[in-house]
């Protein structure tokens, strides 16, 4: 999209039922759709049919370093190669409105391939408060996209990313939550191939309640990375 041009939203009332309603939204700029969204809404209903996975056992966020603290730790190494120093400085300079604490941060000095799974503690920066739940859902949608597709690249660290973009992103909201409170983001990639990658994610409240489930498919184009030492 073009941030300098207003966005025209076309909303189609696809279905309006007693319990469930569906809306199809098309965002348009310069006469062309830049974004489409299919949203389903449900009235709150109780049911005896309830279950969920078990939240992974991980250290609490208070015991972990933030992404900024980890980057600063790497930058303090005088033997860090200049190209990696520039890359880390670029990440550090990004104005990301999310607090992130990786549970198992990757070792920048290790080129070993990893399992396509990662865990983060995440929350929105600042105070949102007890506002409309739809606001927290919108913020969670933003949070869920950060580093999500990159999970599919963990077993392929020998390649340099030329192009990576989301094709579609789906979310299911299960329970109330606060996007400005710490939540555990569990990400995994069950498949990649044909220049595409599939990732799945779960956002857990600190009390172990599964709040949100996510899925994303994206384009991933890579090239062989030159064999250079990070030191």
End-to-end CA distance of the chain: 39
Give 40-73 pLDDT, tens digit per residue.
999 999 999 999 999 999 999 999 999 888 888 8
Residue 165 falls inside a structural domain: yes
Do 101 and 28 share a structural domain?
A: no
What mean pLDDT is reported for the chain?
91
Give 149-194 pLDDT, tens digit per residue.
999 999 998 888 999 999 999 999 999 999 999 999 999 999 999 9
Question: What is the SS3 string spanning 46-101?
Answer: CCCCCCCCCCCCCCCHHHCCCHHHHHHHHHCCCCCCHHHHHHHHHHHHCCCCEEEE
Do 202 and 105 share a structural domain?
A: yes
* Residue 107 in this model has a pLDDT that exceeds 80: no
Task: Assess whether 145 carries a catalytic annotation.
Answer: yes
Closest CA relative to residue 65, chosen from 56, 54, 74, 57: 74
Residue 49 falls inside a structural domain: no
Do 113 and 31 share a structural domain?
A: no
Q: pTM for the full model?
A: 0.89
Do 105 and 23 share a structural domain?
A: no
Task: Assess whether 216 carries a catalytic annotation.
Answer: yes
Residue 18: give its domain's CATH number: 3.10.129.10
Task: Assess whether 45 carries a catalytic annotation.
Answer: no
Choosing from 42, 158, 166, 170, the catalytic residue is 166
* Window from 5-14, 105-114, 121-130, 174-183 with minimum mean pLDDT: 105-114
Q: State the total domains in the chain.
A: 2
Highest mean pLDDT, choosing among 53-57, 101-105, 106-110: 53-57
Residue 67 falls inside a structural domain: no
The domain of 7 spans 1-43
Do 202 and 141 share a structural domain?
A: yes
């Amino acid at each position: 999209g073009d941030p300098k041009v207003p966005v025209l939203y076309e909303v189609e009332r696809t279905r309006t039922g007693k319990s469930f309603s569906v809306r199809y939204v098309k965002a348009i700029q310069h006469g062309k759709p830049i974004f489409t969204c299919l949203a389903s809404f449900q009235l709150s209903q109780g049911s005896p049919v309830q279950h969920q996975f078990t939240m992974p056992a991980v250290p609490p966020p208070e015991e972990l370093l933030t992404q900024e603290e980890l980057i600063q730790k790497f930058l303090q190494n005088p033997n860090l190669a200049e190209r990696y120093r520039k890359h880390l400085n670029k990440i550090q300079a990004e104005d990301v409105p999310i607090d992130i604490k990786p549970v198992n941060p990757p070792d920048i000095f290790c080129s070993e391939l990893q399992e396509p799974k990662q865990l983060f503690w995440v929350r929105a920066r600042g105070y949102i408060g007890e506002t409309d739940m739809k606001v927290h859902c919108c913020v969670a949608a933003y949070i869920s996209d950060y580093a999500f597709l990159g999970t599919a690249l963990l077993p392929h660290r020998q390649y340099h990313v030329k192009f990576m973009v989301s094709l579609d992103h789906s979310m299911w909201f299960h329970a109330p939550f606060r996007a400005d409170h710490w939540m555990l983001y569990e990400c995994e990639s069950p498949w990649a191939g044909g220049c595409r990658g599939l990732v799945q994610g779960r956002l857990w409240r600190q009390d172990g309640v599964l709040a949100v489930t996510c899925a994303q498919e994206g384009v991933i184009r890579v090239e062989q990375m030159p064999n250079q030492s990070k030191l």
